[in-house]
Amino acid sequence: MRGVTEFVSLEVDNGVGTIRLDRPPMNALNRQMQEELLELAAEATRRDDIRAVVVYGGEKVFAAGADVKEMSTMSYVDMAPVARRLSAGLGAISTIPKPTIAAVTGYALGGGLEVALSTDRRIVGDNAKFGVPEILLGIIPGGGGTQRLARLIGPARAKDMVYTGRFVDAQEALAIGLVDEVVPADQVYSRALEYAGQFANGPALAYAAAKKAIDGGLDTDLRTGLDIESDVFAGLFATEDRTIGMQSFIENGPGKASFTGR
């Protein structure tokens, strides 16, 4: 099955969903694309045949930012009521309670980088370039860039990128922890599918619990984070996969369980 909107699509193969950005030539993320990302993130969340998600912009570019022409006509009165919706759209992938991977070739700038930041892992081509150049327009990142970037690479590095608007190449991005793997550009999508594929038959509820514990803990203090972990940990003892996993371990050793996702 395939979920399709005008500029964003969702295709599923062997348990892995691909959310594809497709608004040539640069995948500029206008408000329609932001709404479509919200729609397809919700669909990927609902569908039991999707266990992991890859976000991909194509062979040449991931996304070169939000649609500046669209924003240039907006006043404060126009932006104020929709700013949170913009942030939600560019961060939509973060709401999917499944492993998510950004497969990045070419530019991931501004809103494009913010979409990539909303995933769990970033696998990028050796031709990839990253940046938050909004400062050059007299604004700041508004789709989660100041928050997710600082949490990922630390406030000093985030401020350098935000203040200067400079581009970071793939190797620097790897060195500062902005991305997780660098591969030849023509292998980005296949590597992302390979990584995502390992979750296709895994314990879906345990992945969701792990994500909730890690992401929720990062947003609060240690004591509260530990409480979140304890709650979701205990909840997994009500799942079919916990029974299957432990019984398989006792009988056959680790790594041999056939999970149901329930």
Mean pLDDT across the chain = 96
**Integer CA distances (angstroms), 131 to 42, 60, 139, in order:** 27, 16, 14
Domain with CATH 1.10.12 in the chain: 204-252
Q: What pLDDT is stored for residue 245 in this prediction?
A: 96
Note the pLDDT of residue 66.
86
Mean pLDDT over 236-245 rounds to 96
What is the predicted pLDDT for the residue at 147?
96
| Residue 3 pLDDT greater than 90, yes or no | no
In the chain, list all ranges with CATH 3.90.226.10: 2-197
| pLDDT band with cut points at 50, 70 and 90 for residue 215 | very high
Residue 254 and residue 248: Cα distance in Å, rounded? 7
Catalytic machinery residues: 66, 111, 114, 134
CB-CB contact of 124 with 182 (8 Å) = yes
Exposed, middle or buried by CB within 10 Å (0-12, 13-18, 19+), for 123?
Answer: buried
pLDDT band at 61 (very low <50, low <70, confident <90, very high): very high
What pLDDT, on a 0 to 100 scale, did the predictor assign at position 38?
98
Count Cα neighbours of 189 within 13 Å in the Cβ-side half-sphere.
15
Confidence of residue 1 (pLDDT cuts 50, 70, 90): low
- Residue 230 binned pLDDT confidence (cut-offs 50, 70, 90): very high
Q: What is the sign, positive or negative, of the torsion defined by CA atoms of 89, 124, 165, 28?
A: negative
CB 149, CB 162: distance < 8 Å: yes
- pLDDT tens digits, one per residue of 113-156: 999 999 999 999 999 999 999 999 999 999 999 999 999 999 99
Which residue, 235, 229, 198, is CA-closest to 214?
229
What tens digit of pLDDT does each residue of 76-118 get? 999 999 999 999 999 999 999 999 999 999 999 999 999 999 9
Specify the pTM: 0.94
pLDDT at res. 4: 61
The reply to whether CATH 3.90.226.10 applies to domain 2-197 is: yes
- pLDDT tens track for 190-206: 999 999 999 999 999 99
Is 204-252 CATH 1.10.12? yes
